Structure 1
Amino acid sequence: MNDMTYETITLAKADGLATLTLNAPDKLNAVSRKMIAELKQCWEELATDSTVRAVLLTGAGRGFCAGADLADPDREASATADSGAALDKYFNPVIRTMRAVPKPIVAAVNGVAAGVGMSFAMASDIAVAGKSASFLQAFARIGLLPDGGSTWFLPRLVGDARARALAMLAPQIPAEQAKQWGLIWDVVDDAELMTTATELARRLADGPTLALARIKEAMNRASENTLSAQLDVERDFQRELGRSADFKEGVAAFLAKRKPSFKGK
């Protein structure tokens, strides 16, 4: 079912899993001002929807997302024609919400993920790509720097040397290389991508929601914490999770040698 009707994206929800699809296939899902405004609204909705326990993000057609739509007529006509203002108002809130939303995000990368499209993949928790997918930090090709958090994500995922080369030389790298470098979790045959990614997202939607949310939050904090401070985070979160119904169910299922039935509570 759809809670809201969007023009450039689609949102479907079923049994705890929300599937968010970038839906401008004629432009390889390039991000227009309208699309990023709708994405901002959509992610904010997903963040507060207690019925959603995991999100699957993908693109319609043969591309995941070709980056910002440079031909978008709204770019120069809008109050955010200034590139920094556009980031402030739309793009940065989307990335912040994706990282903060207390539920796992799986990206199914079909085809090209360029510019901010690559940022969307990196901002997800688990990214799976089809074999024909590719990744490109396109910004330097047009005289810009990587945004959408890419200057933060890249060094953490692939190391400083590769991050600088990816950003400055702007090569297009295939999915298998992205996996080898640690940019993404896995690569599968194109024909199996949506089945594999949906199964993965479904498994997370049926999982221990509180624990998954705390895993995400703990890892978010880890990049700024000392080991000692992070040990305290783990202690506090573990205390909370140890009181959850899902932990009791997990232990009971383990002892009974059966599959747990987590309720996300």
Structure 2
Amino acid sequence: MTTYKDIGVDKAANYVGTIEIRRPPHNYFDMSLIQQIATAMEEFDKDDGVRAVVLCAQGKSFCAGANFNEPARDNAGENDVGGQPVNHLYQEAVRLLRTKKPIVAAVHGAAIGGGLGVACAADFRVTCPEARFAANFTKLGFHPGFGLTVLLPELIGKNQAELLFYTGRRIGGEEATRIGLASVCVPQDQVRAEATKLAAEIAESAPLAIISTRKTMRGDLADRVKAATDHELKEQTWLRGTEDFKEGVKATAERRVANFKGR
């Protein structure tokens, strides 16, 4: 099995695999992290000893999105490690969505921006009242990314997704469960165990039938996300050069309301 830098990978006797994000406390993502998760999932796809996967995280947050205050990170739409301006991050996101086995995300803390995208790439989300979910892109003067313009409406409906996109508001685990963004809400210290329980229940079903049914249910989701991320990246690229984006990032870092100028 591949050795990973930022994730832990394990599998249990009950046919449940585990991928743990290990960038505490907030588990900010970049191309490398998503690439590692996608590679681990592809390895699980080839392993008959894994029928369902739990995606979880160390630290305070599940995944607090991209850290715009660390320019060295290869964030969405930024240059690759080799300096080539390609949409590498979103290619890895689509790669993750093309994997075959069900994923249960254990969202014990914040899932923000692209981190919400990571959570929504899973089939199910187990969460807790203390968790926070936000598509906060417009609060940054930015366009939603990570395929969320497809993934979020798929889960909660178009108008509810528009509400979260346009306001950038944060909602807790109970509200996320009520609107269908999460499947189960339990006490915070039980999130991972409950996610593992759900994955084990899925793993009791016939594995070939699960893969076949999941393929039918997901349909062309990965292809639609690919098309969406191509468009998202174009919008993010020009918005990144605006004064509003600079103000949004600054205001977020300073924990204040942004003073946007529309330019």
TM bin (shorter chain): 0.7 to 0.9
Distance (whole Å) between structure 1 residues aligned to residue 152 and residue 34 of structure 2: 22
Q: How many residues are treated as equivalent by the alignment? A: 216
* RMSD (Å) for aligned C-alpha atoms: 2.2
Q: Amino acid of the residue matched to residue 204 of structure 2? A: D
Q: Amino acid of the residue matched to residue 8 of structure 2? A: T
Corresponding residue of 1:166: 164
Query: What is the deviation of 1:99?
Result: 3.2
Relative to structure 1, is the Cα distance of residues 193 and 24 closer, same or farther in structure 2, using a 3 angstrom cutoff?
same
Aligned pairs (5 A) from 1:1-265: 3-15=1-13, 16-26=15-25, 28-70=26-68, 71-75=70-74, 78-79=81-82, 82=85, 85=86, 88-94=87-93, 96-221=94-219
- Structure 1: which 5+ residue stretches go unaligned? 225-265
Distance (whole Å) between structure 2 residues aligned to residue 140 and residue 155 of structure 1: 17
Distance (whole Å) between structure 2 residues aligned to residue 58 and residue 137 of structure 1: 19
**1:197-223 deviations in Å (ceiling 9; x for gaps):** 111112222321122112211111287
Q: Is the 8 A contact 2:128 2:185 kept in 1?
A: yes
Query: What is the deviation of 1:159?
Result: 2.0
TM-score (norm 2): 0.75
Secondary structure of the 1:153 match is helix
Q: Is the 8 A contact 2:16 2:196 kept in 1?
A: no
Distance (whole Å) between structure 1 residues aligned to residue 201 and residue 124 of structure 2: 12
Q: Which has the higher contact order (CA 8 A, sep 6+)?
A: 2
Distance (whole Å) between structure 2 residues aligned to residue 74 and residue 161 of structure 1: 33
Distance (whole Å) between structure 2 residues aligned to residue 93 and residue 165 of structure 1: 27
Query: What is the deviation of 1:58?
Result: 0.8
Query: What is the deviation of 1:38?
Result: 2.0
Distance (whole Å) between structure 2 residues aligned to residue 195 and residue 155 of structure 1: 28
Q: Amino acid of the residue matched to residue 89 of structure 1? A: H
Relative to structure 1, is the Cα distance of residues 164 and 22 closer, same or farther in structure 2, using a 3 angstrom cutoff?
same
Q: Amino acid of the residue matched to residue 25 of structure 1? A: P
TM-score (norm 1): 0.74
Percent same amino acid among aligned pairs? 30
Q: Which has the higher helix share?
A: 1
- Structure 2: which 5+ residue stretches go unaligned? 223-263
Distance (whole Å) between structure 1 residues aligned to residue 137 and residue 47 of structure 2: 34
Relative to structure 1, is the Cα distance of residues 33 and 101 closer, same or farther in structure 2, using a 3 angstrom cutoff?
closer
Q: Is the 8 A contact 2:11 2:18 kept in 1?
A: yes
Q: Amino acid of the residue matched to residue 190 of structure 2? A: E
